[in-house]
Amino acid sequence: MIKPRIGVFGLTGCGGCQLEILNLEDDLIDFVNAVDIVHFTEAITEHSDNYEVALIEGSVSTNHDVERLEHIAKVAKIIVAIGACSSTGGLNCLKNLYGVEKAKELVYGDKKDWIDAIETKPIDEYVKVDYYARGCPPTRSEIVDIVKSLIVGKTPEIPNYPVCIECKKLNNTCLYDLGIACMGPVTRAGCNARCPSSISGCEGCRGPIDEPNINAQIDLLKKYGLTVEDIMEGFNLYNACKKITDKSK
Binding flag, residue 184, ligand SF4 (CB under 6 A): yes
Q: Whole-angstrom Cα distance, residue 231 to residue 28?
A: 38
Q: How many residues at the interface with ligand SF4, by CB under 6 A?
A: 22
By the 8 A CB rule, do 185 and 217 touch? yes
Which residue in 105, 194, 218, 234 binds ligand SF4 (CB under 6 A)? 194
By the 8 A CB rule, do 213 and 248 touch? yes
Return the range that interacts with ligand SF4 (CB under 6 A); candidates 9-17, 69-77, 99-107, 190-198.
190-198
By the 8 A CB rule, do 53 and 3 touch? no
Binding flag, residue 187, ligand SF4 (CB under 6 A): yes
Tell the burial category of 63 from Cβ atoms under 10 Å away from its Cβ (0-12, 13-18, 19+): exposed
Residue whose CB is less far from ligand SF4, 31 or 176: 176
Q: b or e along 185-206 (b: 16 or more beta carbons within 10 Å of the residue's beta carbon)?
A: bbbbbbbebbbbeeeebbbbbb
Site for ligand SF4 in 162-181 (CB under 6 A): 163-164, 167, 172, 174-176
Which residue in 60, 129, 182, 231 binds ligand SF4 (CB under 6 A)? 182
By the 8 A CB rule, do 11 and 65 touch? yes
By the 8 A CB rule, do 199 and 230 touch? no
Return the range that interacts with ligand SF4 (CB under 6 A); candidates 12-20, 106-114, 116-124, 201-209.
201-209
Which residue in 20, 57, 65, 203 binds ligand SF4 (CB under 6 A)? 203
Binding flag, residue 205, ligand SF4 (CB under 6 A): yes
Would you call 109 helix, strand, or coil by DSSP? helix
Interface residues with ligand SF4 (CB under 6 A) are: 135, 163-164, 167, 172, 174-176, 182, 184-185, 187, 191, 193-196, 202-206
